Amino acid sequence: MHTEFDPDLLAVFILAAFLGFQLIKRVSTLLHSPLMSLTNAIAAVAVVGAIIILGEEPGSPLSKTLGFIAVTAATVNLVSGFLITDRMLKMFKKGGSK
C-alpha cells in the first residue's frame, strides 16, 4: 500500500519543470498577474487528493474533518482562480476594439 520511490516520477517532474520554464518564459509581461492567478487555480488540482481522503469509507473523524477543509479550500481556489483570471483577461483590449 505504500508508495515506493519510482524513478519514472522523478523523470516526469523534471520534464514538467523544464516544460514549465519554457512556457512561462514566453508569457507576455502584460499578463503576469492573470498568469499567477491561473497557475494558482490549476495548482488547486490538489483537490483530487483531498477528494480521495474525504471520499474514502470508513474514514476517521480526523480524515473527514481535514479532508472537508482541504476540499473546501482547494475549491475556493479553483473556482475563484479561474473566474478572476477570466475577469482580468476580459479587460485586456486592443485599441481598435472599443
Residues 26-85 that bind another protein (CB under 8 A): 26-57, 59-60, 62-64, 66-85
Quote the cell numbers at residue 58: 470508513
Which helix H or strand E contains 23, and what residues bound it?
helix 7-25
CB of residue 58 to another protein, shortest distance in Å: 9
> Binding of another protein at residue 93 (CB under 8 A)?
yes
> Binding of another protein at residue 4 (CB under 8 A)?
yes
> Binding of another protein at residue 21 (CB under 8 A)?
yes
Question: Closest Cα partner for 73 from 44, 35, 48?
Answer: 44
